[in-house]
Amino acid sequence: MNSKLPQSVLLKVGMGTCGIAAGARAIYDKLEEQVKNFQNIEIDYTSCNGFCHLEPLIETIIKGKTLLLANLSAEQIPFLLENLTNKKLLSSKVLVIEKDKKLKGQNRIVLENCGIINPDKLNDYLEKDGYVALKKVLNNISPEEVIENIKKSGLRGRGGAGFSTGIKWDLARKAQSEQKYVICNADEGDPGAFMDRAVMEGDPHRVIEGLIICGYAIGASKGYIYCRAEYPLAIMRLRKAIIDAKESNLLGENVLNSGFGFEIIIKEGAGAFVCGEETALIASVEGQRGMPRIKPPFPATKGLWEKPTNINNVETLANIPWIIRKGADSFSALGTEKSPGTKVFSLAGKIKNAGLIEIEMGVSLRDIIYGIGGGSSTNKEVKAVQLGGPSGGCIPAEMFDTLVDYESLMSTGAIVGSGGMVAVDEDTCMVDLAKYFLQFIQSESCGKCTFCRIGTKRMLEILTRMTEGKSNMEELNKLRALAQNIGVASLCALGKTAPNPVMTTLRYFESEYLEHINEKKCSTGVCKALVIYTIDEQKCIGCTKCAKNCPVDTISGSLKKPHYIHQEKCIKCGNCEKVCPVGAVSKL
């Protein structure tokens, strides 16, 4: 077989961590093996393009039209190769989606190259105006002017706090010292967040370019990227990008022969959530336990090894090349007055179009959840959205008209945070969700401050008793008091924001707490201790399936006779409910 297509076709496989986990490697291998039989077909790989729910996927560009071939299996590859025209693909049984339509509602700056270029090829990045900003800065713009530009753009830190990036740079610039450092905070620890992973895996040179410009602006010759070890692919691609940048004189003693020298070192995190806090991160880079320090002095005056240090998160730095290239005004024209630009969010949980999105600030939550996200992925309604991980909060569906910008979200008790957005539906118990975050915080507290170390433990104990039906109203008051005190008496953001998930669920879902306390009931059925499984004698047909599938043999009854669950041994696994063919088992 040696088919020939009228023009060459490029097939790109999405190979981010999530794509690979969904099976992209097998797709790529199959393509590589089969493509030899064809002329005019080129294959390449790219990283995550944000459509995680469609993975594994291939992108085809034929006659200028970009199609996404979604949810593929390796077996479909031979068929695809034989049918590579837009018309044939669109009428085939493969799930085919037009990319432009899929991107409706989004505005991609940070993600402009993600899922488009091959992250391991410097040339791909150069073709997309990569390092143009760096060249511009080194040739024509003084460090002070760069900082003025960033200030004018209105860019605010994308790691959570939302502090002005330009002012932060200015403080580090003005600090007097022969040695200064810049650090890229890539310790994306919030559970439910994967924006920074996608940017590093998909467009590593962009992060590097942002970091070099930052170094030039504040007068630092050394930069660190502190990346969590759970992201091996991101680290691998960053390493390759640094080597390639060095070879092209984009990094090194004399960057682009400008006289400015800059080097980048990658530091792997070792699995501590608190290291996302900047002073804890500095301690970790110095080789110590990652424990936060008292501020002031701020890192801008006394940071890494007591030298002036500027720390920015991945997404913040990824915005920099765009702002320099297109101008501060183009950036501040996007989004809202106080929160200009765009923000990347990771959509996950009970949502149809789970994945990565980038929107202009000022879009409503409703537009994100129902517009881009496509609404609930289950047959239940979306009940709330959890924003900002363990430091953030839950916003109920009634408030989905809230706009996504720093101030509006803050007024709800949640935060923009790093950008993790997890939708939950009516099957999610909010008390259990609060307990989940407390569990996380409690185990990640570094132990320095008493309120954070012991207070979160006491809060967790109360929440655990609530989910077991062993709590009372007095404890609910204690929970509120603890939440307030921990917020006030902790040193760093981890402790200060630790009570947020409890505070917001208490504010918007108090009835669920009261149900657990007063009625000893969990109507979602999540809190297993409060659930009782029973069999309706009228409905039961005596098929014995439940008894056979019960792992603890606590269901009795003979063939064609109603069955009965002996509660004392029941472990509430729910197997009986799942296997019953007539819906006779129910939760009380």
Min separation Cβ 444 and other proteins, Å: 8
Min separation Cβ 23 and other proteins, Å: 9
- Contact yes or no for 108/51 (Cβ under 8 A): no
Residue from the set 124, 190, 277, 360 that interacts with other proteins by CB under 8 A: 190
User: Which of 359, 353, 412, 360 shows the shortest CA–CA distance to 386?
Assistant: 412
Residue from the set 9, 15, 22, 138 that interacts with other proteins by CB under 8 A: 22
Q: Is 105 left (phi over 0), alpha (psi -120 to 50) or beta?
A: left
Which residues have C-beta within 8 Å of that of residue 302, sequence separation ≥ 6? Answer: 308
| Interaction of residue 506 with other proteins, rule CB under 8 A | no
Between 232-247 and 204-218, two packed helices, what is the crossing angle to 10 degrees? 60
Query: Among 131-139, 230-238, 255-263, 476-484, which window interacts with other proteins (CB under 8 A)?
Result: 230-238
- Contact yes or no for 14/54 (Cβ under 8 A): no
Residues 395-424, mask of contacts with other proteins (x by CB under 8 A):
-------------------------x-x-x
Residue from the set 183, 220, 354, 522 that interacts with other proteins by CB under 8 A: 354
Query: Among 7-15, 175-183, 213-221, 347-355, which window interacts with other proteins (CB under 8 A)?
Result: 347-355
User: Which of 321, 26, 310, 6 shows the shortest CA–CA distance to 172?
Assistant: 310
Toward other proteins, which CB reaches closer, 137 or 225? 225
Toward other proteins, which CB reaches closer, 341 or 373? 373
| Interaction of residue 73 with other proteins, rule CB under 8 A | no
Burial class (CB in 10 A: 0-12, 13-18, 19+), 571: exposed
Residue from the set 60, 386, 408, 490 that interacts with other proteins by CB under 8 A: 386
Please state the φ and ψ torsions of residue 482, each to the nearest 5 degrees: -60, -45
Distance, CA of 470 to CA of 463 (rounded, Å): 10
Toward other proteins, which CB reaches closer, 232 or 261? 232
Query: Among 2-10, 72-80, 111-119, 436-444, which window interacts with other proteins (CB under 8 A)?
Result: 436-444
Distance, CA of 377 to CA of 450 (rounded, Å): 41
The tokens for 94 are 């493969």
Toward other proteins, which CB reaches closer, 110 or 193? 193
Q: Is 189 left (phi over 0), alpha (psi -120 to 50) or beta?
A: alpha
Residues 439-478, mask of contacts with other proteins (x by CB under 8 A):
-x---x-x--------------------------------
CA atoms within 13 A of residue 272's CA, in its CB half-sphere: 22
User: Which of 409, 373, 330, 490 shows the shortest CA–CA distance to 160?
Assistant: 409
Toward other proteins, which CB reaches closer, 327 or 574? 574
Min separation Cβ 563 and other proteins, Å: 22
Instruction: Identify residues 40-59 at the interface with other proteins (CB under 8 A).
Output: 52-53, 55
Amino acid at 147: I
Burial class (CB in 10 A: 0-12, 13-18, 19+), 443: exposed
Residues 147-186, mask of contacts with other proteins (x by CB under 8 A):
----------------------------------------
Instruction: Identify residues 112-151 at the interface with other proteins (CB under 8 A).
Output: none
Strand ordering across the sheet containing 420-425? 355-360, 342-349, 420-425, 382-387, 393-396
Toward other proteins, which CB reaches closer, 137 or 409? 409
Min separation Cβ 316 and other proteins, Å: 19
| Interaction of residue 287 with other proteins, rule CB under 8 A | yes
The single residue listed with the structure tokens 């999405």 is 14
| Interaction of residue 535 with other proteins, rule CB under 8 A | no
The single residue listed with the structure tokens 């990565």 is 356
Residue from the set 160, 166, 276, 389 that interacts with other proteins by CB under 8 A: 389
Residue from the set 162, 202, 215, 290 that interacts with other proteins by CB under 8 A: 290
- Contact yes or no for 370/420 (Cβ under 8 A): no
Query: Among 121-129, 193-201, 478-486, 502-510, which window interacts with other proteins (CB under 8 A)?
Result: 193-201
- Contact yes or no for 275/284 (Cβ under 8 A): yes
| Interaction of residue 6 with other proteins, rule CB under 8 A | no
| Interaction of residue 34 with other proteins, rule CB under 8 A | no
Query: Among 34-42, 256-264, 327-335, 428-436, which window interacts with other proteins (CB under 8 A)?
Result: 428-436
Radius of gyration of the chain (CA): 27
Residues 239-278, mask of contacts with other proteins (x by CB under 8 A):
----------------------------xxxxxxx-----
The tokens for 243 are 């080597």
Query: Among 188-196, 307-315, 357-365, 411-419, which window interacts with other proteins (CB under 8 A)?
Result: 188-196
Toward other proteins, which CB reaches closer, 53 or 545? 53
Toward other proteins, which CB reaches closer, 147 or 394? 394
Min separation Cβ 313 and other proteins, Å: 15
CA 57, 344, 55: angle at the middle one, nearest 5?
10
Through-space distance between the first and last CA atoms of the chain, rounded to whole angstroms = 63
Cis check: omega of the bond before 56, within 30 degrees of 0:
yes
Strand partners, 360: 342
Count of residues in contact with other proteins, rule CB under 8 A: 55
Distance, CA of 180 to CA of 22 (rounded, Å): 42
| Interaction of residue 279 with other proteins, rule CB under 8 A | no
Distance, CA of 59 to CA of 68 (rounded, Å): 5
Min separation Cβ 193 and other proteins, Å: 7
Secondary structure (H, E, C), 381-400: CEEEEEECHHHCEEEEHHHC
Query: Among 319-327, 346-354, 395-403, 479-487, which window interacts with other proteins (CB under 8 A)?
Result: 346-354
Toward other proteins, which CB reaches closer, 220 or 328? 220
Contacts to other proteins by CB under 8 A? 17-18, 20-22, 52-53, 55, 188-194, 197, 229-232, 267-273, 284-290, 346-350, 354-355, 386, 389, 420, 422, 424, 428, 433, 436-437, 440, 444, 446, 551, 573
